Structure 1
């Protein structure tokens, strides 16, 4: 009985035709699966007389091997057919895949725009280490040994030296360290900007963060004047915030520049009339600047009698917040997709 059934199945398998994935699956279910006819015949082997089991078992193994061989043959044939006809790989019943194209981070957008503006003015771009020695971050920049910025509430120190404070290792608090390294290895004229990430030991809030981004600028050459600084920042303001923008300079103090000035730009939202962004003053602070202190030039091996220079620095987060009307600094680091998607195509 089983022998006759085996012969019938052998004939069926030999004559089977499979031209689609559905037919292939039907073939598998009927002949190879655990509930298929071949498995059923193996289950009935126990009803065969002991003296005939060996011979019948060999026939069933031959049938099983034939079914598996045919299945592999059909699978390979269908796969080759799909490769030759790519359209067969497309399932037109599937839903359309949504557009998942990402977008640039708003800080990246603004940083690239800043770099573009200054590159057109002849500035190149320089980078430096985020882990720095005190000499490059403070001492060479004319910071006194007892300056408040050296204290733990402002600076993340990695290691404190037992000897000279200039050997302390810390996370840079500004990208001015790149200016020092640049002046040490390059003779004037020097004209470069230094974008990068900086670190300060501050409480995180809507207006402050312990990690943020700056872009600083340096121009050192013969006969560089304060007017050169003003003209450079004036051109930047018009390119960044619009042709109607104007700037004003307010006297200030920085250890590494003398004279020093804070840079305000006319509020590009209210056009100087007064609003929440400019606190109804018509002006928004964007940068600090000044003429490079002669002591800094001397510390870097540049003759301060022959060369002068100006430097400036601005926070990329602040400019981004002004440009896009963002009121919480923490949004830049929370990776909220709802926030980031607003800058697609920007």
Structure 2
């Protein structure tokens, strides 16, 4: 019996040494540890038979078993260190940065011509003392039309037909609604500029779009006249386009201003309307609680797309929305 147990222990030690030496991963090494040294491992199964041995035989076999166990543990530990070091070296090799290789470059982003035009316009008016104001794109009929002296049966609504929701709200047709909201919460004097996206049921062509961007200005105070409006617009256009761009003011009509005018600039050999303006109608001032006998004001609204077309000599407004990189990379 002693010879058999001793032989099996030596055979187990040899098998364990060979298996550990040939293991290729930490997970495989852990499986070997459990197989040989676990509570239900091969060494434990052999040692359970020591109960059949005499008291004189057990110490010698126990010493042999302990020596084999220590040897297996040492082999496992050494192999574990070797595998861990190999993993580290493999990771280092995979993450090594070759500083001699050319770097991967990414093109720098640029502002869209519409956004750069908005920023340029805002910079000019902020420099003139105006404050930027914003409002919701989904508006009520009151703020978009009624408070701007355009009641339900007013024919001017036909020119600004828009998109409506079932609850009666609508997509705003201009940023004039921001002016009403701002005046309701602030007392004169005020100077604001309101940029934003607006919507109209326009037929899309080279100079019109159903979705576009508008910027409006509003100034309210004591003693403001059309001369102040004209001077402000001229200074803005001078800073925007320079002194050599021909411009003209011509009489027009808007329900929320009186008197009203449109401003045209020369573009590609023809006159192009770029903004509308006028003195704030007294009814609009009354709608927000201002006394038109004390305060006067002027307002102007412009389409950002048309200004971008003039600045960059773009021949078709639709190019601004096609997301064609060949076009956008020019700016």
Q: Is 2:296 the partner of 1:289?
A: no
Q: Is 2:107 the partner of 1:100?
A: yes
Q: 1:244 to 1:153 in 2, by over 3 A?
A: closer
- Partners in 1 of 2:162 and 2:22 — Cα distance? 82
Q: Is 2:141 the partner of 1:130?
A: no
Find the counterpart in structure 2 of residue 247 from structure 1. Answer: 247
For the Cα contact (< 8 Å) 2:25–2:83, is it kept in 1? no
SS of residue matched to 2:259: strand
Find the counterpart in structure 2 of residue 227 from structure 1. Answer: 227
Of 90-99 and 4-13, more deviation after overlay is shown by 4-13
Deviation (angstroms), 1:326: 1.4
Find the counterpart in structure 2 of residue 194 from structure 1. Answer: 194
Q: Which deviations, in whole Å up to 9, do the C-alpha atoms of 1:226-268 show, x marking residues without a partner?
A: 0101110111111000133353210000101111001123x3x
Q: Please, what TM-score do these two structures have when normalized by structure 1?
A: 0.71
Query: Unpaired segments of 5 or more residues in structure 2?
Result: 1-10, 29-44, 47-68
Residue pairs, 1:2-41, within 5 angstroms: 7=17, 31-32=24-25
Deviation (angstroms), 1:195: 0.3
Q: 1:75 to 1:315 in 2, by over 3 A?
A: farther
Find the counterpart in structure 2 of residue 23 from structure 1. Answer: none
For the Cα contact (< 8 Å) 1:202–1:208, is it kept in 2? yes
Residue pairs, 1:297-308, within 5 angstroms: 297-308=285-296
Find the counterpart in structure 1 of residue 328 from structure 2. Answer: 340
Q: Which deviations, in whole Å up to 9, do the C-alpha atoms of 1:33-84 show, x marking residues without a partner?
A: 9xx9xxxxxxxxxxxxxxxxx99xxx9x9999779834652156448979xx
Residue pairs, 1:34-49, within 5 angstroms: none
SS of residue matched to 1:174: coil
For the Cα contact (< 8 Å) 1:237–1:246, is it kept in 2? no
Find the counterpart in structure 1 of residue 262 from structure 2. Answer: 262
Q: What do you get for the CA RMSD once the two structures are aligned?
A: 3.8
For the Cα contact (< 8 Å) 1:155–1:170, is it kept in 2? yes
Find the counterpart in structure 2 of residue 318 from structure 1. Answer: 306
Q: Please, what TM-score do these two structures have when normalized by structure 2?
A: 0.74
For the Cα contact (< 8 Å) 1:262–1:287, is it kept in 2? yes
Deviation (angstroms), 1:7: 4.2
Find the counterpart in structure 1 of residue 85 from structure 2. Answer: 74
- Partners in 1 of 2:137 and 2:276 — Cα distance? 21
- Partners in 2 of 1:241 and 1:2 — Cα distance? 93
Q: 1:331 to 1:3 in 2, by over 3 A?
A: farther
Find the counterpart in structure 1 of residue 59 from structure 2. Answer: none
Deviation (angstroms), 1:340: 2.1
Find the counterpart in structure 1 of residue 52 from structure 2. Answer: none
Residue pairs, 1:83-232, within 5 angstroms: 89-92=96-99, 94-148=101-155, 150=157, 154-159=161-166, 168-232=168-232
Q: Which deviations, in whole Å up to 9, do the C-alpha atoms of 1:207-233 show, x marking residues without a partner?
A: 322211000000111110101011101
Q: Which has the larger radius of gyration?
A: 2
For the Cα contact (< 8 Å) 1:190–1:221, is it kept in 2? yes
SS of residue matched to 1:181: helix
SS of residue matched to 2:85: helix
Q: 1:314 to 1:63 in 2, by over 3 A?
A: farther
Of 176-185 and 201-210, more deviation after overlay is shown by 201-210
- Partners in 2 of 1:287 and 1:68 — Cα distance? 81
- Partners in 2 of 1:340 and 1:64 — Cα distance? 66
